[in-house]
Structure 1
Amino acid sequence: EPRAGKPARVVPRGERSSNAPDLLDNLQVWFEHDYDTRLIHSNLAFPLLRRLTEAGDPVAKRVYKKEIIKRYENGSTATREFLEAEGFLRYLTIDEKLNLILDEENFAALVELSEEIPPFEEKGVVIDLPIIEYLASHIKFEDIKNRQIIELNLWNLKLQKFPRSILKFRSLEVLNLRNNKLKELPEDIDKLSNLKELWLSNNKLVSLPDSLCNFNNLEHMWLDENKIEFLLKNIGNLKNLKSLIITNNNLKKLPESICKLKKIEDLLLSNNLLKELPKCLVKLKSLRYISLERNKFDKYPEVLKKIENFENEIKIDID
């Protein structure tokens, strides 16, 4: 006999065929064995489990979640992308989802990070969602590689202090902290040695730690909309830096080492207090664009005349 209160036949209306009795018998057995997915073809079991889960069947929900986890763990990258994109992971609890997509170290770091972030508003509304759920909802499939977070977006959270737990994401390649209220960065920020992009736009930074020059892999750095007065004297150590955006600050002078940025293509320095430029800027043969509007130059810098004669066309914006 079927379980009390449960339907014996779950074949959707209109899908019966000449072998429907055999199919129904198989479904009856499947039903009586708590939806054991070994008893019918997975291509049939999976959508049926989804329908039963959405109908409120607790046994189906438990089996369905196990099936989702199994397919994610054993599936190809394409399979995982499909499960994520089609919303299958929403049937899992936050803990189940994070345990599935992250390794133990990254999961623990994310939990710790959620405890460091104070309540905040989004579009004028206080976020009453637990912070861990908010963070999890903003992690995309492409933000993870080998069960480790490689991109972390913490922008517009009104952070006044740099969360120390960020430093535990050792595989991080992109860190976005724009639109916060950070006044300083930790000296050991270089623990994030794999960083390629660092977004610090629109904070309250006045100075930068020397360790920021230790990022061998850094390619893009946004420092615009802060209160920075001096660039680091060893900024030239960032050998792979391609773009440096430091508009709308209080820069008074550029260090000579900036001329060691051999791969720099975009150098944005508008809206600062610069009165002169290092003559060695002429060494930046990879430069494609330099912006210098709204600074304090008395006359057109001589070095720009030489840069204009580079073989490769360079765009120069200056008042």
Structure 2
Amino acid sequence: MYANSHYPVKEFKINDFIVLRQEGDRTNIYVKNRIFTQCMYLLLNIPVDKVKKYDDIDSIDEAAEILDRSMEGGGRGVFHLDPEEEFMGHCSNMQAWAENDYDTRILHRNLAFPLLKKLSDAGDPLAKNRIKEEIALRYASGHETVMTFLADNGYLKYLSRDELEYLLDDNKLPIISTLARISNDITMVLETDSVNDRLMRLIREASRNIGYHNIPFIISHLNKDFSDKSQEVLVKFIYSNFRKHKDFPLMEFLNNYIEFFKELDLNSIMYDEKIIGFLGGTILNLRDKGVKNVEAINLPEDEYLKIEEIDLSNNLINDLNGIQKFRNVQRLKLNNNKIYNINALNNLKLLQDLSLRNNIISKIENKILLPKLESLDLSGNLELAEIPEWLNCLPALKSVNFMNCSIKKFSESTSTYFWMKQNYRFYSNFTLEDIEYYESQYNKKSKSGNQCYKHFVIWILKMKEHMKYHKFTYEDLHKFEAVSKKKGIWSGRLTNDFLKWLDNKKQIKITDFL
């Protein structure tokens, strides 16, 4: 296939994510088989007698200035190459870029950073790891055109608070320096619309550069040398104008300046004297809030009974005392905490759905009254070895999940829950000897990963019953089968020959004793 009568399509694979293709007289980059439309130009093909001129450059961006060439303008440059030579040059440069862990100094900024972002978005693990580091390093290099490019195109949004602090310490965040110079004067006369507009433009510009999520970072540095009055005016201005922006970290901002908002009814949820959420109807979402003690969660007194759904997953909870305040809760998620005792859940009479995944529950002994509970998730409680009899006291219970538990014991009355939702896969009361005998006799796998096959579980449960009742071991089985050349177990039952052998063995022991 030809894109142009003169130049056949050529392809060069850089890695699993990047392929270069010469299509006509252009070289195109493909990321995961999708064309990456960023234009690229071969900057350096320097004659030998001119190499010394470039000895001191640190990056292609510096070389571009020395060459006095506008890469954005689309020119083919001072050293003419035909498309095939240019394609080979691109391949060489891109290969070097990949071999050097996506070092953005090797490619022009207009290509390096958009391509690195595209690779990161496409799932390239190296790009994901490198993008923040490259942005910080190149911005910190002090090269003005690179700094301007990164700021104007929003790449500083990728940086963490610590990385921004580092750049600020080096006086390399000019937008914040500009704000600091003029904001104090502005806040003193904020009542005028023209001043409002000016401050709004400046803060929006800063936010576009380093992200709306970093507004608290910006304000914290502006406020360092401000009077208390100026701080309050600026903080309330930010709150009034940015609190509804989807990327504005409202909770963090309010916690940083809570002293300025004491007169406002924020409808907030407090924990340890900090805002951890806002009330919104019947749902309480408090995931990832560092909560240790439910008792310390504070809502306005008339709000507790309005809550029907609570998510307290991914916290540090080990004490559920206080959950009783939410008497009307119907759905409760407590996943990924440190809960070992659930007695405090007693008498949540409307609770229908309870999830306790990945806690440290090892047993449930008390009868906790949950008359409407329909669904219970105990998966990931690694020390939970016995299916609790308490489940039989839950009249509405329809579903129980024991995935990734270590079930070793259950009674006849709780066997329903053992076989429910394939919980049997996580049965663990067997030995390597059990596995070896089963797999040798049936020529089947007993498990896949850490999950048992149903046939093996049925077999091992029957086998344990036989061993307990008839008092024999695998050593007995092996001896019998070696001597008699017959099976000791057939279709899950002891053969008559093996039973006779066991009986003879007992008689011999009695005779020996006499």
Normalising by structure 1, we get a TM-score of 0.47
Larger relative contact order, structure 1 or 2 (CA cutoff 8 Å, min sep 6): 1
Normalising by structure 2, we get a TM-score of 0.32
Structure having the higher helix fraction is 2
